Chains A and B, each alone.
Chain A
Amino acid sequence: MPAKPTTGILSILKTAVVNALIALVLFSLMVGIRTEAGSDGQLTYWMRFGELASLVAVVFGGSIVIELLRQWIGPSGTEKLVPPAVQSGMAFVGRFLAPALLIFALLVPVIFYNQRYILDLAILVLTYVMLGWGLNVVVGLAGLLDLGYVAFYAVGAYSYALLATNFDWSFWICLPLAGILAALWGVMLGFPVLRLRGDYLAIVTLAFGEIIRLVIINWQELTGGPNGVPGIPRPTLFGIPLDNSDDGLAARLGIEYSPTHRIVFLFYLILALALLTNWVTIRLRRLPIGRAWEALREDEVACRALGINTTTTKLTAFATGAMFGGLAGAFFATRQGFISPESFTFQESALVLAIVVLGGMGSQLGVALAALTMIGGFELFRGLETYRMLVFGMAMVLIMIWRPRGLIGHRAPTVYLTKAKAISSDLVKEGHG
């Protein structure tokens, strides 16, 4: 972007020509020449001038449109676009957005009782909300970039699956165990990476995620390898199964059995787990440990000078985040009834991290909105078929241009004397690892 706003047709044309030239160079090999293996295996190729010309023309035209738009909107950095009335309106909406979302979430099974697809989607969204909130502790609060979060999700899922299928323990015993085991793995990952910062930490956590997945694939005797773990027991309502049997919930209540009962139960289960994650995180933020996490993100050296044990502080952040990931994993296992290593690829880690970054690092509401946008939006574009990923990707890019620090770009203080003032995200550090 030019430093000072340039005007005039000449400068617009100049920009457009430069962009078109870059496009010409880029696309001349990628699109302009088509190569194929001939009938005898020899290389045949031909030029596609038409396609190349149309692409360059699109770039040229697009550049002019974008430049015109830019001049119409005004130079970047000015925030006079939003009138004060709209701003106060947005603040009003902002205050009631979280309670409104919560009430809506509680009512989803009532409103969409007959729409199985929406209920399933809501459960999926809530799973990612929970994962996002869990990772938010590590990335958003403590500022430790974790690219292997899916490892804890996998540990939780497999812990639950193996404990439930091998020992026949109930869901309510296995769930906390899965959380504890995942937290333990969080500490185990934490120890070797304590000295690493930034990019190096990201690489090691990425590798850790892959190691867990590879161990699951190869330890066939325990995990079933690529075949996964089938027949994971469904959760019960404190011992009462939600099925068609004589002592099932429907029979006991004397109502007609419907498979939707179980879906609704799963929905409220994941909602409760997600809200637990949220509640614990909000409380932790106001406790000394939470403040130490945020201080660690802001300045690790200063933390040490104040006598804060950065080692245990980082480990607790890893463990807390991992525990929530493990709980979400256990839920995933019981919901699916079958798990295999395919569900725990790097793509899941990237998706959860994208949710945290898009939401605005450290913001609970932002993460919830981002999960809704990412998972819901992805489904919304299903009608576009082949172009779904393209449109979705472009939407992500646009959101990040519009709000570079995430949907909720400010930090709420954890304690105040007279008035809690939101802190602009420009001041808040992202952490260095």
Chain B
Amino acid sequence: MSGEKILGVDQLTMRFGGIVAVHDLSFAAERRKITALIGPNGAGKTTVFNCITGFYRPTGGAIRLTHDDGKQIALERLNDFRIAKQAKVARTFQNIRLFPGMTALENLMVAQHNALMRASGFTFLGLIGVPTYRSAEVHAIELATEWLRRVNLLDRADDAAGNLAYGDQRRLEIARAMCTEPALLCLDEPAAGLNARESAALSELLLSIRDEKGTSILLIEHDMSVVMEISDHIVVMDHGVKIAEGSPREVRDDPKVIAAYLGTDEEEAMAVMESGS
């Protein structure tokens, strides 16, 4: 691996009672790159995600996030909302978690909560309507509008998020995560349930986030066409341990990966892997 490291996972272990969901996992994600975490169902990918984003506290190991200014943050010691607030790690969920009764625009405004809270003098100044808060709100609406345009939802800005089509909801959730202006964006199966055209649009969106915004992305994905197309680096997990790592080409040809996905019948596995390329 070359390049600057943004996320370093070192000997991460997560146990639930007697079950070891993740065992001694180490990998790194590079800055301004897309790192994919793949593996069969039950491999422990989402558990790793939940450890990184503070929803679980790992049983052992270290997770280090390095900001642009060189500041290192130990994610395993932060919990809950602080991961998003202080470490600037944003995430989406496998089963979409929008605020369905709020409009698309409101969803993106909620994402800018912490910045707006400071601007509103923790509500007190905002209550009496000071101009600095008003300009901050205008700025927040501009940022939200920009992201709505990027995810092609500008004309649905004032519609309830719960009324959007499934694919639109997926994109809105990514836009919402990006509105927190994260250093690392974690996506849990962003292409799940999308059709081929929507998947292609998603790939384009993620590449533009990487190239234009310079945001590092870590994603879990089952859709191999997306993974192989956009990933710079792939980590393969099975049964809680890392079984392979490398560029898309290296991983695709790795017999261990093929075995993990489809048992030992390599011919069939090859066929599936090829179809994704």
- Determine whether the beta carbon of B106 is less than 8 Å from that of A306: no
**Docked pose: A427 CA to B141 CA in angstroms:** 23
B159 touches A421 (CB 8 A): yes
**B39-61 Cβ-contact flags toward A at 8 Å (1 or 0):** 00000000000000111000000
- Answer whether residue A86 sits at the interface, using C-beta atoms and an 8 A cutoff: no
| Minimum C-beta distance from B192 to chain A (A) | 17
- Distance in angstroms from A237 CB to nearest chain B CB is 26
A287 in contact with B123 (CB, 8 Å): yes
Closest Cβ of chain B to A181, distance in Å, is 19
Chain A, residues 34-75, CB within 8 Å of chain B (1/0): the string is: 000000000000000000000000000000000000000000
In whole Å, how far is B227's beta carbon from the nearest beta carbon of chain A? Answer: 23
**List of B residues within 8 angstroms of A424 by Cβ:** 160
B80 touching A416, Cβ below 8 Å: no
B180 in contact (CB, < 8 A): yes
Q: B141 contacts which of A288, A299, A307, A417 (Cβ < 8 Å)?
A: A417
Q: How far is the CA of A302 from the CA of B93 in the complex (A)?
A: 8
A413/B102 contact (C-beta < 8 A), A292-B110, A305-B91, A308-B110 known: yes
Return B102 CB to nearest CB of chain A, in Å: 6
Q: Return chain B residues, CB-CB under 8 Å to A419.
A: 158
B111 at the A/B interface (Cβ < 8 Å)?
yes
Task: Give chain A nearest CB distance to B153 CB in angstroms.
Answer: 11
Asked whether A291 lies within 8 Å of B98 as measured between CB atoms, the reply is: no
A180-205 contact mask (Cβ, 8 Å, vs B): 1 or 0: 00000000000000000000000000
Residues of B within 8 A of A310 (CB): 80-81
Report if A428-B93 is in contact (Cβ < 8 Å); known contacts: A288-B113, A292-B110, A309-B81: no
Given known contacts A284-B123, A287-B127, A417-B157, is B98 in contact with A307 (CB within 8 Å)?
Answer: no
Residues of chain B lying within 8 A (CB to CB) of residue A411: 101
Q: Are B159 and A291 in contact (CB under 8 A)?
A: no
Q: A307-B114, A424-B160 are in contact. Are A298 and B101 (CB under 8 A)?
A: yes
- B157's partner among A304, A416, A423 (CB-CB below 8 A) is A416
**CA of A299 to CA of B92, assembled, Å:** 13
A299 vs B99: C-alpha distance in the bound complex, in angstroms?
A: 6
Contacting B99 at CB < 8 Å: which of A295, A417, A420?
A: A295
Total contacts A-B at CB 8 Å: 140
Closest to A287 in B: B126
Whether B103 lies near A304 (C-beta < 8 A) is no
Distance in Å from the Cβ of B159 to the closest Cβ of chain A? Answer: 7
Interface contact B123-A289, CB-CB below 8 Å: yes
CA distance A317 to B68 in the complex (A): 36
Question: In chain A, what residue has the closest Cβ to B161?
Answer: A427
Contacts of A304 in B (CB 8 A): 54-55, 80-81, 84
Q: Is B176 close to A, CB under 8 A?
A: yes
- Say if the beta carbon of B236 comes within 8 Å of chain A: no
| CB nearest neighbor in B for A320 | B123
A128 to B53, CA, bound (A): 44
Instruction: Name 8 extra pairs, CB < 8 A, besides A292-B113, A305-B97, A307-B180.
Output: A298-B100, A302-B99, A303-B81, A306-B90, A307-B113, A416-B157, A419-B158, A421-B160
Q: Measuring CB to CB, which residues of chain B are less than 8 angstroms from any residue of chain A?
A: 53-55, 80-85, 90-91, 93, 97-103, 105-106, 109-114, 116-117, 120, 123, 126-127, 129, 137, 141, 145, 154, 157-160, 162-163, 176-177, 180
Residues of chain A having any CB pair with chain B under 8 Å:
280, 283-284, 287-289, 291-292, 294-295, 297-299, 301-310, 316, 411, 413-421, 423-424, 427-429
